[in-house]
Amino acid sequence: MTLLVKDANTTVQSLSTEIDGSGNLVPLHAPASVSTQGVASPVGPANPLPVINTAGAAASDGSGTVATGGSPQTLFGGAVPANGFLVQNNSSAALWVCDTGIASNGGASVQIAANGGLFATPPGYKPAGAVSLYGATTGQVFAARRW
């Protein structure tokens, strides 16, 4: 069966369709996955797209303590995390983290709550630069990972 639709230029385009296993009309131009035999099948609940973890590398530890209270410090030896990072605040006072400049207790920095607060980059987020951490008190403990 062919369904006629108008594209953004208001030109009529034909769209090939078929009936799926539930009796629904579905487009054949849907994303497809290719089997090992080279045959493409429409993507759906019975044939989901494969998920590829592009991060793929093991996480690297950057845990530690605030070296000097009131002074920002760079995490991970200044290396920019390739695919993301997380920082957990294991101290009794707030910490701030920033990957777009120097961390401070405000501005572009993200506050991490005391006693277990956590900041983790979302999937697909590529850090803008080196990760900087700010804590007001020397010795504040944090856990950090980059991947």
Residues of the chain with CATH 2.60.120: 60-146
Note the pLDDT tens digit of each residue in 90-131. 999 999 999 999 999 989 999 999 999 999 999 888 899 999
Reported as a pLDDT band with limits 50, 70 and 90, residue 15 is low
Note the pLDDT tens digit of each residue in 64-87. 999 999 999 999 999 999 889 999
Measured CA to CA, the distance from residue 68 to residue 139 in angstroms comes to 8
Contact indicator for 121, 91 with CB cutoff of 8 Å: no
Measured CA to CA, the distance from residue 107 to residue 72 in angstroms comes to 13
The single-letter DSSP state of residue 109 is P
Q: Which residues contact 41 (CB under 8 A, 6 or more apart)?
A: 32, 33, 35, 47
pLDDT of residue 51: 64
Amino acid at 115: N
**Bridge pairing between strands 64-65 and 73-74:** unpaired
Of 25, 2, 24, give the one whose Cα is nearest residue 15: 2
Contact indicator for 80, 112 with CB cutoff of 8 Å: no
Reported as a pLDDT band with limits 50, 70 and 90, residue 25 is confident
Contact indicator for 109, 27 with CB cutoff of 8 Å: no
Q: What is the mean pLDDT of the chain?
A: 84
- Architecture of the structural domain at 60-146: Sandwich (2.60)
